[in-house]
């Protein structure tokens, strides 16, 4: 008999471990190993939505160890075509405050050593990532955040660092001077892998801190892990409200170009 399926998915960030109370749990394996944890399926306004905590139960995967390939592959196996991947982020500008939501439109990848592609050979596919976030899903996130509980900013560049350590002051200053809006550790390779699979992907970054502080306010201390987790957890009910609104705003059919990105090529499956 065919197994369960889902139309949409949410990958939860730091401390965000459930989208809905009434769920069915599914455990999957993939050619890339198991995903971060069991996948929760819930009915949201008549559509089945899959939810997967990015860092797994108990936050057991640090950013550089998250099984990104398995996570996206497992969602696609369930039939998911569109993924929302909210995340925690540090602000690189004094006008993006903790508690603000930034609907990202660009990314800079500063990670290294992470398995970051499905096309390991012999199939070769150079997928375009000029615009890493799906415009339709970005519009849905903005609709879900409109008049909502969190101040929202339309557009912003996230610089994705390797982690798990936070940035030095010099690194933070360099990222800011190069035009980054927020800093995060998990948006890559997640967004790139979604594109390789032809999935729509978008993210809203919840600002949890000011990274290394604010240059013109020496009273603002550099970020700590406790601060990130506490701010994110305090805002999870508000973020959940935004996401439920965004899911309701996702159109029934896709009219973006995300599905065409792989060019009909199927990734090589490891043996």
Q: Which of 209, 215, 216, 217 is catalytic?
A: 209
- Are the CB atoms for 150 and 206 separated by under 8 Å? yes
CB neighbour list of residue 10: distance below 8 Å, 6 or more residues apart: 19, 49, 50, 51, 52, 83, 84, 85, 86, 243, 247
Rounded to the nearest 5 degrees, what angle is found at the Cα of 70, between the Cα atoms of 66 and 72?
A: 95
Q: State the DSSP H helix or E strand holding residue 70, giving kind and residue range, or none if neither.
A: helix 68-77
Q: Which of 100, 105, 109, 211 is catalytic?
A: 211
268 catalytic per annotation:
no
209 catalytic per annotation:
yes
CB neighbour list of residue 69: distance below 8 Å, 6 or more residues apart: 30, 32, 33, 115, 118, 193
Backbone φ and ψ of 57, nearest 5°: -60, 135
Hey, how many other C-beta atoms are within 10 angstroms of the C-beta on 229? 15
Instruction: Concatenate the DSSP letters of all residues of 172-234 into one string.
Output: HHHHHHTT--EEESSHHHHHHHHHHTT-EEE-EEEEEE-TT-BTTBTTSPPP-HHHHHHHHHH
CA pair distance 104, 225, nearest whole angstrom = 22
- Directed axis angle between helix 135-145 and helix 225-249, to 10°? 100
Would you state the torsion angle of the CA atoms of residues 143, 43, 32, 60, taken in this order, to the nearest 10 degrees?
Answer: 80
Q: State the DSSP H helix or E strand holding residue 90, giving kind and residue range, or none if neither.
A: strand 87-91
Q: Give catalytic residue positions.
A: 209, 211
């Amino acid at each position: 008999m065919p197994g369960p399926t889902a139309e949409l998915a949410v990958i939860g960030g730091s401390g965000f471990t459930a989208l809905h109370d009434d769920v069915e749990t599914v455990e999957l394996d993939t050619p890339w190993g198991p995903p971060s944890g069991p996948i929760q399926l819930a009915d949201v306004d008549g559509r089945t939505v899959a939810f997967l905590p990015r860092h797994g139960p108990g936050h057991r995967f640090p950013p550089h160890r998250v099984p990104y390939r398995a996570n996206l592959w497992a969602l696609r196996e369930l039939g998911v075509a569109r993924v929302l991947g909210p995340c925690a982020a540090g602000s690189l500008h004094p006008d993006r405050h903790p508690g603000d939501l930034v609907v990202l439109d660009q990314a800079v990848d500063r990670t290294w050593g992470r398995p970051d592609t499905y096309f390991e050979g012999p199939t070769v596919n150079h997928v375009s990532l000029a615009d890493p976030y799906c415009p339709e899903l970005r519009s849905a996130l903005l609709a879900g955040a409109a008049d909502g509980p969190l101040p929202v900013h339309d557009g912003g560049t996230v610089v994705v660092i390797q982690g798990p350590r936070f940035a030095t002051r010099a690194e933070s200053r360099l990222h800011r001077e190069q035009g980054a809006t927020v800093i995060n550790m998990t948006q890559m390779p997640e967004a790139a892998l979604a594109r390789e699979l032809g999935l729509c992907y978008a993210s809203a970054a919840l600002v949890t801190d000011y990274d290394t502080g604010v240059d013109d306010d020496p009273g603002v201390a550099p970020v700590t892990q406790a601060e990130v987790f506490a701010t994110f957890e305090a805002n999870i009910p508000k973020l959940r409200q935004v996401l439920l609104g965004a899911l309701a705003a996702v159109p029934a059919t896709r009219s973006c170009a995300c599905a065409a990105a792989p060019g009909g090529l199927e990734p090589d499956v490891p043996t």
